[in-house]
Amino acid sequence: MKKIIAMSQEHWETFSLKSLGQQIDTGQLDPRELVDYFLDRINQDEDREKIFIQIYPEEARQAADKAYERAKNHQRLSLYDGIPLVWKDNFDIAGKPSTAGLPILRDKIAQENAAIYQIALDSGLICLGKTNMTELAFSGLGINPSFGTPRNPFDARQARVPGGSSSGSAIAVAKGLCCAGIGTDTGGSIRTPAAWNNLVGLKTTAGLLSTQGIVPLSQTLDTVGFLTRQVEDAGSLYHLFTQQQPQNLAKLDYEDINLLVCTNIVWEQINSEVAETLEVFLEKIACQGVKIDRQPIPEFEQVFELVNTYGNIVSYEASKNWLDFLLAHPDSISPEILERFRLGSTLTSTNINKVHQGLQKLREQYLQRTQNYQGVVMPTVVSIPPIISELEQDSQRYNLENLLSLRNTRPVNLLGLSALSVPVGMTKSQLPVGLMLVAPPLAERILLELALALETFAIK
């Protein structure tokens, strides 16, 4: 019988998922100690009630007991059996509420697990709790007036937004309260908080991973995504949840990488420090032999022209899903977000069909234009995280900042592409900057291999 050796480890949050799994496998690491370590960190965090909507200490410890027994008896369910994650509170877990950021949904008890959560359960992953999020996932800022807004950990002086809508998952990972976070991305809800919290954020292609059992915003555009501290971990979760055989990501030679920097709309209104950080990084990788071309991609602007003319798919579907309920409970959601649901009700199915048709044509044009590049790159977000109190006091500023936080990420969803945000450095004021890598549909592995090569040169 294999003996599990308890270890004293002060920085388990810095270890890769693969490394933790291997240590559990060889008996160097006890999953019970690992879970207790993170539960203690959560308990000591003053912001925990804003980061988490629900914390599951008893269930997590029981799951760790079972993972320990499986490891001891050589019956582990996967390499990641016994590793604790956090889940955005729009994934159904049987017997638990799925609030999707609304207190009024506390009584909505899930009858069965979301499909992707079931994969996690079958693989032995442990859930530490469900994390806070923007109300019904309909904002890129991460503000939640009901459950509270977790503050961005990179500014101790001023409380800045976390980014959303996967706010709690991002903050939990950034603060080392878990090994990784699971969230969703409909228009940027993984990549925006990743960029603002120095994390890797992978948005998978719509349809790659089942959204069954996820509280819907837009059935067409909702996607599952991962928030991790390093690219390797995003790759591990990608392979686990797509149920592919685990594979090591290839380290690409820099001379073989050919990137296209989009030069038009995605750089408009950019913060000067963000722009400088990105340009320094691009120059750095170019010096290593990465080929970089720069040219406009008109399809990105044409996406906005199409949506502004005929209507936004997200608004249309979100309104169908939620407006009747929200009008019956108008005080259950903040006025700014309620107004977004109202606007969706003015859209017609005829016009939304025109949007779908137009997007298909633009996707074909985009893929043709970018076919000679492994990835298209651009700022993930052009702004720095706004100060929370300033947005709470000014609804017009809130709306402008929200649109800007998602401007670069939204076209990727609308065109059905895959994308990943990788941290590339800090501004002079020590706020994180993310670079977005964009690839064709179902090209997640290419994105991961590109990001693995590039993250080496992140400016510390």
HEC letters along 327-362 = HHCHHHCCHHHHHHHHHHCCCCHHHHHHHHHHHHHH
Q: Kindly list the domain boundaries of the chain, sorted by start residue.
A: 12-241
Question: Which pLDDT score is estimated for 6?
Answer: 45
**247 confidence band (pLDDT: 50, 70, 90):** confident
* CATH architecture assignment, domain 12-241: Alpha-Beta Complex (3.90)
Contacts of 251 (CB under 8 A, 6+ apart): 449, 452, 453
Question: Which pLDDT score is estimated for 10?
Answer: 64
Local structure of 162: helix, strand or coil: coil
**460 confidence band (pLDDT: 50, 70, 90):** low
Token representation of residue 352: 């939304």
pLDDT single digits (tens) 10-67: 699 999 999 999 999 999 999 999 999 999 999 999 999 999 999 999 999 999 999 9
Closest of 39, 317, 302, 326 to residue 172, by C-alpha: 39
Question: Is the pLDDT assigned to residue 1 strictly greater than 80?
Answer: no
- Full-model pTM: 0.97
CB 164 within 8 A of CB 134: yes
**250 confidence band (pLDDT: 50, 70, 90):** confident
Q: Count other C-beta atoms under 10 Å from residue 175's C-beta.
A: 18
* CA atoms lying within 13 Å on the CB side of residue 89: 31
Question: Is the pLDDT assigned to residue 139 strictly greater than 70?
Answer: yes
Question: Which pLDDT score is estimated for 261?
Answer: 98
pLDDT single digits (tens) 367-380: 999 999 999 999 99
Q: Count other C-beta atoms under 10 Å from residue 106's C-beta.
A: 12
H or E segment and range at residue 437: strand 432-439
pLDDT single digits (tens) 318-361: 999 999 999 999 999 999 999 999 999 999 999 999 999 999 99
SS3 for 117-169, per residue? HHHHHHCCCEEEEEECCCHHHCCCCCCCCCCCCCCCCCCCCCCECCCCCCHHH
CA 162 to chain centre: 12
Question: What is the C-alpha to C-alpha distance for residues 39 and 178, in angstroms, rounded to an integer?
Answer: 9
